[in-house]
Amino acid sequence: MSKQNIELLMIDLGNELGIDNLKLDEDACCCLSFDDIILHFEFDAAQNRLLCYSHLGDVPPFGQSDFYEMLLDANLFWKGTGGHTLSIDSKSKAVILVSQVDSNDTKLEQLTPMIGSFLDVSDIWRRKIVEFNNKTSL
């Protein structure tokens, strides 16, 4: 997928969302806010893919073993992630949901449902992280 294809896809997405001239910045990134979920887009030129990711919360200070097991279990065959991947940023201890678009001919008709699914899964996992933190802090 070329950067030019991604730029055209972002313009189409912007038109769909009512955002004029949506585009990647000089770092090949773009952010959109949907309610309280911030969705990041980043073009990875080395891998020719568009990364989509969102910060869902932080690793809790207590019960980390159970927390990591919950995330890993959800990632197994993507059964709890809708085809997206849960991960941890080891430096910041942030829980990140990640997906990628890596088809040369990805169209808006394929991207839009992926974004919808991504936002739904983000919302579910943000709530699960809060619930987990509430349980372990008692």
By the 10 Å C-beta count (0-12 exposed, 13-18 middle, 19+ buried), 99 is classed as buried
Least Cα distance to 58 among 138, 120, 113, 137 occurs for 137
At 10, list the tokens.
Answer: 């972002």
Q: Which residues of the chain have pLDDT under 70?
A: 1, 103, 137-138
Least Cα distance to 10 among 36, 38, 41, 39 occurs for 41
CA–CA separation, 30 and 82 (whole Å):
23
| Cβ–Cβ under 8 Å, residues 54 and 123 | no
